[in-house]
Amino acid sequence: MINNNDIKQLREELLKNLEQNNFFKAFELYCNIFDNLENKKYTDSIEQKNFIRFLLKVMRKAEVLCDDNIYNKLNSTLQIEDIKTQNILLNEHEIYNKNIELKSKPQSLQVTLTTLCNANCRMCGNKRMPKWEVSDFGVENIVSLLPYVQEVTWMGGEVFTHNKFNYLVEKSSFYETEQSIITNGTFYKDDIVKILTNNNVRTTVSLHSLNKSTYEYIMRIDALYNVYKFLDNLNKYRTKYFCLSLNFVVMKSNYKELINLIDFVKKYNIIEVILLPLQEEVMEFYNTENIFFGDNIDFDIIKNIRNITEDLSKEFKKLGVRFINNLPVFEYQKESDDIISKENDKKELIPVSTLNHNNENPKEKYKVCQYPWTKLFIENNGNIMISASCRSVIKEPMGHIDKDSLISVWNNEKIKSIRYKIVTDHCSEYCQKILD
């Protein structure tokens, strides 16, 4: 009999192997223990189901294809009827087989619930979109996939303004779907905080200044203290495994505040910090605040940011905080005050996180995109797309969330033709453009 201690030990081993993206080692561990069992029974079938899901996550992260051997092994060891685990396993196997029409459903959903928002941020293109929110039909359409999908991200606008948000969170929880949101954090009431903490919704708070007047300049609402109350309340109710992240969009008005994030992260037990450059969504604001791109590029500020982010990186490491630095500041690793070489270096601007990723993972591995086999994305007008990151490449919607059943869209002619092109054409039309 395998007992919970064995499973715990295996999990720890798996975690170690996950860090090294070493699926095969983890799979070997799993097979050894399983094959040595006398009656091949787990003491706790729920634990076993979670364990296989975890293994599948390792497999995806390590970019290992689920061949017949892996599929048969995991399938035969799954001892309870579990739609989600079976779906993920089948989905991985269908990717391996390059199936065009899929029996499995997607693993991941990104859903814009509404464009409504209580703030009016100067940089936000969302505010310029026509008002739209998912209809009751759309809500049930999403619910129809929840038993199958591993993870769902709720996007806005502000997700709390949608009157079915709590319903969707509870339904997802019921189906053991992992959930994430991104919010401006100005809704701080206990009921909202409890919905998030009770259902372990991974929560990312966007906060672009800790200074009241800068905050109000960017967000155009007086709500900084509401965000602090929100964070206090989350800390009051959160459990050990609750994931709280911070999203900070860096621009001219706020880059000097970056260093203050160390104390902020400690105070509110933030476990992940994401830095992003301001993007060109609202021209007027972008032209005033952009420091990273085009003619507005300011080398002295970038140099300063590079130094600050190096300090942040060290401090966050000590604190065990995950640091995702998407700021394009790399070119200054070449120290030079010569203006001509600075001009040349401009071309090499690349986000630090991409650089680290490319160094760790040889590029050839990223040639074939699997998104059309694993994801669906509902964008901020209800169009059903494949993924937010494919948006600029695959422009035609697969359907609309308020009209077309997600289950039928998943195998409609449009999406099948994309899968077909990727399989036969080695991504030349689609994913190389995204991933290069």
Ligand X SMILES: C[S@@+](CC[C@H](N)C(=O)[O-])C[C@H]1O[C@@H](n2cnc3c(N)ncnc32)[C@H](O)[C@@H]1O
Q: How many CA atoms lie within 13 A of 289 on its CB side?
A: 23
Q: How far is the CB of 117 from ligand SF4 (least distance, A)?
A: 3
Binders in 178-197 for ligand SF4, by CB under 6 A: 184
- Going by their DSSP bridges, the two strands 375-378 and 322-325 should be labelled as unpaired
Binds ligand SF4 by CB under 6 A, chosen from 14, 18, 113, 121 = 121
Q: Segment contacting ligand SF4 (CB under 6 A): 70-78, 122-130, 398-406, 415-423?
A: 122-130
Select the binding partner of residue 302 from ligand X, ligand SF4, none (C-beta < 5 to 8 A, by kind).
Answer: none
Binds ligand X by CB under 6 A, chosen from 86, 153, 179, 184 = 184
Phi first, then psi, for residue 391 (nearest 5°) are -55, -40
Q: Is 273 helix (H, G, I), strand (E, B) or coil?
A: strand
Select the binding partner of residue 281 from ligand SF4, ligand X, none (C-beta < 5 to 8 A, by kind).
Answer: ligand X
Q: Is 390 helix (H, G, I), strand (E, B) or coil?
A: helix
Asked if 123 is part of the footprint of ligand X (rule: CB under 6 A), the reply reads yes
Asked if 150 is part of the footprint of ligand X (rule: CB under 6 A), the reply reads no
Name which of 82, 79, 11 is nearest 41 in CA terms: 79
Which residue's CB is nearer to ligand SF4, number 113 or number 121? 121
| Torsion angle (degrees, nearest 10) of CA 271, 275, 278, 279 | -90
Asked if 117 is part of the footprint of ligand X (rule: CB under 6 A), the reply reads yes
What does the DSSP assignment read for 203-221? EEEE---SSHHHHHHHHSS
Select the binding partner of residue 278 from ligand X, ligand SF4, none (C-beta < 5 to 8 A, by kind).
Answer: ligand X
Select the binding partner of residue 127 from ligand X, ligand SF4, none (C-beta < 5 to 8 A, by kind).
Answer: ligand SF4
Which residue's CB is nearer to ligand SF4, number 92 or number 158? 158
Asked if 253 is part of the footprint of ligand X (rule: CB under 6 A), the reply reads no
Q: Which amino acid is at 296?
A: N
Asked if 227 is part of the footprint of ligand X (rule: CB under 6 A), the reply reads no
Contacts of 387 by beta carbon, 8 Å cutoff, 6+ apart? 110, 371, 375, 377
Name which of 311, 308, 302 is nearest 342 in CA terms: 302
Site of interaction with ligand SF4 (CB under 6 A): 117, 119-121, 124, 126-127, 156-157, 184
